[in-house]
Amino acid sequence: MTTYPNSPKVLKGGLVLIDPESAKVLRIISLQYNPEKLTRSLQVQSAGGESGNRSEAMRFKGPAVETIRLEADIDAADQLEFPNQNRVTVENGIQPQLAVLEALAHPTSDQLLEVNRQLNTGTLEIAPMEAPLMLFVWSKSRIVPVRLTEFSITEEAFDPALNPIVAKVSLGLRVLSVDDLGFAHKGGSLFMSYLQAKEQLANKVQAGSFGALGIGGIG
C-alpha cells in the first residue's frame, strides 16, 4: 500500500479496559477499521414521567441514558498478504481478535473458578463478579465509560482450515453516568468530563434569532 507523505493521520476508535480499583490500563482495543457510522440515542430522564404531575414537568431526575451502536469490520487480508510476518493470523485467522472482543461479554475463567470454590467451601454471600471499567474512545473529546449491552459476530469468510478471516462485529454500548457510578468513581469523573466537553461545544454555536423563526418575539 502506498503512503502519501501529506496524507492526514487517521485516528482509530476503540475501547480501553481499566482496573476499577487502581485505574491501571489493562488492555487497549483499537478497531481495525473505523465504522462508517455511529448510532447514538438519548433517553431523557424526566422527573414527571408519564404521571402528569405538573410540578415535575420541567425537572430532570438525572443525566439522559445514552446508548451507542456501531458495526466494525475485521479482515485478515492485509496480514495474509505477508504470511511469514503474520504466523498467528495464518494459523488462526482473525479468531484472536474476535476472542478479545468476546471476552468483554463474560467473566474470566479465573473468576468463575473462584466463585465455584467459594460455593464448595460453603460461603454464604458471594459478591457478583466485577468487570473492568470499559471506556469507549472516539477521539480525545469523546472518552466515556460504557457497559456492553449487545454483541454479535457475523463471520463472512473462512480459510481452508475454517478459521474466520473476515467478520463484521456489532456492538451495543450503554454510557455509564454518575447515576450508575457516583462522582467519586473514576468512571463518574470521566463521564462528567464528557458532559462538560459537550457543553463547551454547544457554547461555540452562534445563537439563533427570532427573525430566523419568522416571529418577532415570545409573549
> Model confidence over 142-153: pLDDT tens digits?
999 999 999 999
User: Can you give the pLDDT at residue 4?
Assistant: 55
**How far lies 135's CA from each of 59, 154, 211, in Å?**
29, 24, 43
Residue 212 lies in a domain: no
Residue 4 lies in a domain: no
CA 188 to CA 135: how far, in whole Å?
11
Residue 8 lies in a domain: no
Residue 159 lies in a domain: yes
Percent of the chain at pLDDT > 70 equals: 93
Report CA Rg, the chain. Answer: 23
Determine the Cα angle at 63 with ends 184 and 40, to 5°: 115
- Are 168 and 156 in contact by the 8 Å Cβ rule? The answer is yes
Residue 183 lies in a domain: yes
What is the domain extent for residue 50?
14-199
Determine the Cα angle at 164 with ends 163 and 169, to 5°: 150
Residue 214 lies in a domain: no
Residue 2 lies in a domain: no
Interval 36-75: pLDDT, tens? 999 999 999 888 666 666 677 788 899 999 999 999 999 9
- Are 148 and 68 in contact by the 8 Å Cβ rule? The answer is no
CA 183 to CA 177: how far, in whole Å?
9
Q: Which helix (H) or strand (E) holds 124?
A: none
pLDDT class of 9 with cuts at 50, 70, 90: confident
92, pLDDT greater than 80: yes
Determine the Cα angle at 139 with ends 137 and 144, to 5°: 35
**Mean pLDDT of the region 184-213:** 93
Helix (H, G, I), strand (E, B) or coil at 159: coil
Residue 6 lies in a domain: no
Indicate the average pLDDT of the chain: 91
Q: Domain tally for the chain?
A: 1
Q: Ramachandran region of residue 30, left (φ > 0), alpha (ψ -120 to 50) or beta? A: beta
**How far lies 31's CA from each of 42, 75, 206, in Å?**
24, 11, 35
Minimal CA–CA distance to 102: which of 171, 26, 31, 28?
171
